[in-house]
Structure 1
């Protein structure tokens, strides 16, 4: 493939299919869901691969951004940007928690009561616009307890999301649970391939000394997580569910960025 074609293909992949209002999935979240440029390959967020689990009639507006919590997402105007663009019939997937829990960074840290209020704000905005809000619990990291089980990532924030979903009758995708079960099933060593674990010999210019990152996803990790999200989105029987065609999460293909099977 000619290198000059890569940016154009990338733009098409990230934008997804052209879709009218009422035919779009918006994603509000953090780096685990975010889009990345070809210069960051093989790093991918699950939101990049979600389009591969749709029938081609639904567009994906991935507004997730690295390092954002509900607090900073709102403070930077990203919430307002979604509110401006989202319309009746659209779907809003809301996944936060990783950065809300980061007490070392004041601009990100969101205490649990404020986290609850912020989630309610996202839900209220979606409903006011006639869109369907869906809450997601924080996706799992590849970190283990002494007994070899996967650590429950950000359980307090996940519990707030579950409680808010129940109290507001908002659909919930428990991605924290699903991803934890999935990664546990892979085994500790095989699971490295689903996150950013590469030695110097991999030759990635961005990581000349290699990388060992148990938070962010490789291509196959992002594809697997997107399939978990899609499978649950299908089960929710929302209007958008009719357009979801979940790919198997097991043994996702490595196709090279940016390509769908």
Structure 2
């Protein structure tokens, strides 16, 4: 495991110096499911980190995702303003929220789907377009939560529904990551899908989780890589300039594959 940490950290630090042309940048506004993590947290990985492995080498990814953030707190903390300042004309801005917007017990995060969440998304769409960028709405990724019928459950249906509705009303491109990731979980099944999330025992001797962990929300590197591929496939399916920058599909990886690499194979 230790051998994997250093190259994994190098991936976060590597940004193509020549990726400065308009349209060569993807910006991400999101939460912990997409965020970059320090090497000490490995193997916890966000799909935004691994999206760097699913695009052409000359594409720059500015990942503004941060754990625990909703549309409300992302705005309140000035994170959206910082992202907006980075937008160049033609850039693509991926907007995925919902996990924390539903946290009614945490008023700093709580953004009811039909009111605050909807209004915040409208602001994001407007601001990106004013800056000359291309907003892309991304429905909240599924948790590893299976129903009695063995199929993955949508944990954020109201927030996803609002996002789908706004995509239609505002003619904003949409990646329905909730639907794509639920199908992905269904294919994996309840047992095999554990390797895609943070499921480790104390016997696995993971430095970041010495007592073990059972987390059905956040991804292992393997899960983040596969989730990034779903996002990349969604981008490629859209009639956007960035679609030409999506790399060819990568070979399938397993939990025993040599992860933590910078070659993105």
Q: Report the TM-score, using the length of structure 2 for normalisation.
A: 0.92
2:258 aligned residue: 255
- Structure 2: segments with no counterpart, 5+ residues: none
SS at match of 2:33: coil
Q: Distance in 2 between matches of 1:14 and 1:62?
A: 12
Instruction: Give the CA deviation at 1:187.
Output: 1.0
Change over 3 Å in CA distance of 1:50–1:144 after alignment to 2: same
SS at match of 2:137: strand
Within the candidate set 154, 165, 171, 1:169 is matched to 171
Q: Distance in 2 between matches of 1:193 and 1:214?
A: 10
1:78 aligned residue: 79
Q: Deviations over 1:55-76 (max 9, x none)?
A: 1111000110000000000000
Q: Distance in 2 between matches of 1:161 and 1:246?
A: 28
Instruction: Give the CA deviation at 1:21.
Output: 4.7
1:45 aligned residue: 46
RMSD value over aligned CA atoms? 1.9
1:17 aligned residue: 16
Within the candidate set 193, 196, 212, 1:194 is matched to 196
Change over 3 Å in CA distance of 1:249–1:74 after alignment to 2: farther
1:212 aligned residue: 214
Instruction: Give the CA deviation at 1:6.
Output: 3.0
Spell out the pairing of 1:112-127 with structure 2 (5 A cutoff).
112=113, 113-127=115-129
Instruction: Give the CA deviation at 1:83.
Output: 1.2
Change over 3 Å in CA distance of 1:15–1:157 after alignment to 2: farther
Q: Report the TM-score, using the length of structure 1 for normalisation.
A: 0.93
Instruction: Give the CA deviation at 1:51.
Output: 1.0
Tell whether 2:90 aligns with 1:102: no
SS at match of 1:107: coil
2:62 aligned residue: 61
Instruction: Give the CA deviation at 1:215.
Output: 0.3
- Structure 1: segments with no counterpart, 5+ residues: none
Instruction: Give the CA deviation at 1:251.
Output: 4.0
Change over 3 Å in CA distance of 1:72–1:15 after alignment to 2: farther
